[in-house]
């Protein structure tokens, strides 16, 4: 899946950067700073209420649209066939673009919705049609577990190309990661630093010191080394740059095994079948 340039290739051939810029709670000006730092992959969502800011700052940065990768997401309260297409159009308008590089279903369901499968199927039909029309270059999901993905497999001939999950040391969701790999779905990590809490973890601090790197670089490399792309978020220009610089060393098999076996830690508490 990894290419010689360090990017990852989706099953439809589209390449994605190994590190993207996450815009959740990003302050005004952060996207412009991220462009200066070298980011070309930007992850947003209708739920973030910042698509206008992202679109304006990308438009003003002077980089051609075709050189920027924009991913957005549809929230489950917007699900439905017609509703999904309308939500997509709203995102395009706010982002000041006529296509998206990647469009994700943000969560599989709203808690307590007895018709969540029907809503999921109709929404996936809508975004699949937009994909076939060329208005979306790749389609995917976020926070979907295998039983959610199976609903899409059973109703469509288009599988998700990406599943964006909370993944980090102490919360690897290995059953879902393995399922995605078996089905050709690229795995992407949100909260790859455990919302910053893992930077102070004693084990992480010791291992990072042994490799002569910062805890942040060590944590991101841990995921990248597994073929997982990452979406860290920060408003600090220095950390923006350091989050892009995750090469130059390899974590040993022994240390990878140790990290993969750590007890659960830094979990956000968000679960698709419980919390929405």
By C-alpha distance, which of 185, 150, 149, 143 is closest to 164? 143
* 138 neighbors 41 (Cβ within 8 angstroms): no
Query: How buried is 88 (Cβ within 10 angstroms: 0-12 exposed, 13-18 middle, 19+ buried)?
Result: buried
Name the CA radius of gyration of the chain, rounded: 18
**Residue 21 annotated to the active site:** no
What distance in Å separates the CA atoms of residue 67 and residue 45, rounded to the nearest whole number?
20
Catalytic residue of the set 21, 39, 41, 48: 48
Positions marked active-site:
48
């Amino acid at each position: 899946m990894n290419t010689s340039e360090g990017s990852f290739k989706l099953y439809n051939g589209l390449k994605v950067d190994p590190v993207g810029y996450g815009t959740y709670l990003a302050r005004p000006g952060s996207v412009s700073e991220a462009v200066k730092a070298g980011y070309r992959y930007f992850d947003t969502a209708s739920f973030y209420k910042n698509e206008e800011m992202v679109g304006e700052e990308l438009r003003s940065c002077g980089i051609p649209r075709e050189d920027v990768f924009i991913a957005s997401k549809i929230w489950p309260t917007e699900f439905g066939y017609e509703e999904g297409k309308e939500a997509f159009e709203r995102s395009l308008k706010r982002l000041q673009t006529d296509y998206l590089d990647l469009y994700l279903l943000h969560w599989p369901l709203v808690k307590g919705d007895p018709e969540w499968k029907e809503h999921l199927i109709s929404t996936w039909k809508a975004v699949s049609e937009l994909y076939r029309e060329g208005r979306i270059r790749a389609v995917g999901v976020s926070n979907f577990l295998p039983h959610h993905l199976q609903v899409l497999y059973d109703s469509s001939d288009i599988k998700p190309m990406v599943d964006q999950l909370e993944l980090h040391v102490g919360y690897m969701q290995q059953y879902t990661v393995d399922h995605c790999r078996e089905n050709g779905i690229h795995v992407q990590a949100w909260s790859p630093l455990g919302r910053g809490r893992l930077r102070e973890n004693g084990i992480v601090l010791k291992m990072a010191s042994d490799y002569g790197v910062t805890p942040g670089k060590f944590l991101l490399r841990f995921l990248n080394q597994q073929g997982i792309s990452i979406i860290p978020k920060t408003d600090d220009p220095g950390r923006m740059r350091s989050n892009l610089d995750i090469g130059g060393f390899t974590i040993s098999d022994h240390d990878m095994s140790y990290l993969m076996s750590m007890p659960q830690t830094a979990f956000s508490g968000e679960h698709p079948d419980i919390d929405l």
